[in-house]
Amino acid sequence: MDARFTPGHALVVGVGADLPNTVADATGLARILRDPGRCAYPPGQVHLLTGEEADRAAVLSALDALSQLAGAQSTALVYFSGHGYRAQTSIGEAYYLLPYGYDIRRLSETAINGREFADGLGAIPARKLLVLLDCCHAGGVGGAKAPRAGVELTRSPLPPEAMDLLTEGGGQVLIASSQEDELSFAGKPYSAFTLALIEALAGVGVAREDGYVRVADLALHARQVVPGRTNDRQHPILHFEHADNFVLAYYAGGDARPKGLPFDVEPQIEPQPGAWTLSDQRAQVVHGPQINVVGDVRGPVLSGQLGDRITVTGDGNVIGDRSRSTVVKRAGLQLDGVAALLDRALALARRKPPPVCEDLEAAVDIVREEIEAGEAADKRLLSQALDVLLEKGPDVLEIVLDVMLDPGASAGKGARMLARRARKSLQ
């Protein structure tokens, strides 16, 4: 056998945000696909999008790129882990995948509708296509109000439009994590559904020990083990009855003998869907009116009002010091100073609806100018800018406060005093 499973191409998406486990799920799946001793996909042919990198534009662009890179003889895998919702309106029904940064008030602009997703899949020329959807999770949007009057949002595990791909049979296979009226269970190190997928990709339960994992191996293993791990409350949807049972990957880098599981922890599945939504294994804050700190931490992470200043160390432990900062740093991370944090604040401000975003942008720019002025800063103007941030964007203000309270910043004693006063008002 070849050292690499060269036909393999994959797009793996874990949206993160209010579903922190989706990042771990997507990362774990991409890891075993790239592992030369396991699935052995060429690393450059596995595209992983998580957290901020998994917004609408990035996902659609990655689908388009996959359609250009994969050929007719390729094996293509598309995995999406996030929310799946059906919007029922007076003029009809629409399905949406909710990527990072979705806004339920602007679904058409920030989400991916079922037709767009199906068209993206249909453009992939590979005759062997597997679509894996972990799209019916607990938490997050489920309790949100409808984006406008007359619209009802309900969870839905898969877009009906994608079913059109299956009518021809052959090499199109779709597996979804749960049935229409069910929720998906998260877990450690992976969710119930993704755990089953990774086990199958490692050779667990393969029908033939010949070095290859086939699409039916994933489908049948997921159908067998997921219900048992969830007390019969989650049942994957399998659509492969009319498809060829094509080879999806190696399971041991081309060897016939499986290597065992690619993790050394005892898998755990949450007792109820959503029970661990605010308790990710990287030890996020879980009490009170906070927004969870989640995702693949690569810089400042915005998390709402936290009870502690928290630092994520290299081994994933969390240290608190009883302030209200929302800047999280992974050990060894070097930020580009004050400017980088202010740029982050500005990016967050621009996600707000107009005209709020314009006011926040102006306030952040004022803060930037006054910090650069140092001791000559206009304290009155700075105070007004902080008031705007406090009223219209307290999450933006949290970043600004960390900049101003940083001893390395050059705003001067007066500006830092204003920052402390603004921070106190948040407590």
Question: Exposed (0-12), middle (13-18) or buried (19+): which is 90, by Cβ within 10 Å?
Answer: exposed
Element (H, E) at 379: helix 379-392
Residue keyed to tokens 């390395």: 408
Nearest alpha carbon to residue 329 among 310, 305, 308: 310
Q: Do 154 and 66 share a domain, yes or no?
A: yes
CB 60 within 8 A of CB 228: no
pTM score of the predicted model: 0.64
Q: Do 156 and 259 share a domain, yes or no?
A: yes
Asked if residue 307 is part of any domain, the answer here is no
Rounded Cα distance between 414 and 419, Å, is: 9
| Residue finishing a domain among 240, 269, 298 | 269
* Number of domains the chain contains: 2
Asked if residue 322 is part of any domain, the answer here is no
CATH code at 170?
A: 3.40.50.1460
How many separate helices (H) and strands (E) can be counted in the chain?
A: 11, 16
Asked if residue 312 is part of any domain, the answer here is no
Q: Do 139 and 218 share a domain, yes or no?
A: yes
Token pair belonging to 324? 């209200």
Give, in order, the Cα–Cα distances in Å from 203 to each of 176, 177, 235, 298, 343. 20, 20, 21, 33, 46
Q: Do 121 and 255 share a domain, yes or no?
A: yes
CB 73 within 8 A of CB 125: no
pLDDT of residue 159: 64
pLDDT of residue 164: 63
pLDDT of residue 324: 29
Q: Do 231 and 371 share a domain, yes or no?
A: no
Q: Do 67 and 179 share a domain, yes or no?
A: yes
Q: Which domain holds residue 247?
A: 8-269
Rounded Cα distance between 287 and 306, Å, is: 9
Asked if residue 91 is part of any domain, the answer here is yes
Asked if residue 387 is part of any domain, the answer here is yes
pLDDT of residue 145: 39
Q: Which residues are CB-neighbours of 91 under 8 A, at least 6 positions away?
A: none
Asked if residue 175 is part of any domain, the answer here is yes
Q: Do 36 and 114 share a domain, yes or no?
A: yes
Q: Do 103 and 18 share a domain, yes or no?
A: yes
| Residue finishing a domain among 209, 235, 269 | 269
Q: Do 54 and 165 share a domain, yes or no?
A: yes
pLDDT of residue 350: 84
| Residue finishing a domain among 246, 269, 292 | 269
pLDDT tens track of the chain, all 427 residues?
A: 558 999 999 999 999 888 888 999 999 999 999 999 999 999 999 999 999 999 999 999 999 999 999 999 999 999 999 988 877 665 567 788 889 988 877 888 898 988 899 899 989 999 899 999 988 766 444 334 344 444 566 666 566 666 666 555 567 888 889 887 788 898 999 999 999 999 999 999 899 999 999 999 999 999 999 999 999 999 998 876 666 889 999 999 989 998 889 888 889 998 887 776 544 333 333 333 333 333 344 443 433 333 333 343 343 333 343 332 333 332 223 334 567 677 778 888 888 887 788 888 888 888 877 776 666 667 777 888 888 888 888 888 877 887 776 645 544 556 666 776 676 666 5
Beta strands (DSSP E) in 61-170 are 75-81, 83-89, 92-98, 112-113, 128-134, 152-155
Give, in order, the Cα–Cα distances in Å from 205 to each of 97, 171, 248. 31, 22, 15
Q: Do 58 and 185 share a domain, yes or no?
A: yes
pLDDT of residue 299: 41
Q: Which residues are CB-neighbours of 157 under 8 A, at least 6 positions away?
A: 84, 133, 135, 136, 176, 177, 178, 179, 180, 182, 184, 237
Asked if residue 159 is part of any domain, the answer here is yes
Q: Do 371 and 254 share a domain, yes or no?
A: no
Asked if residue 114 is part of any domain, the answer here is yes
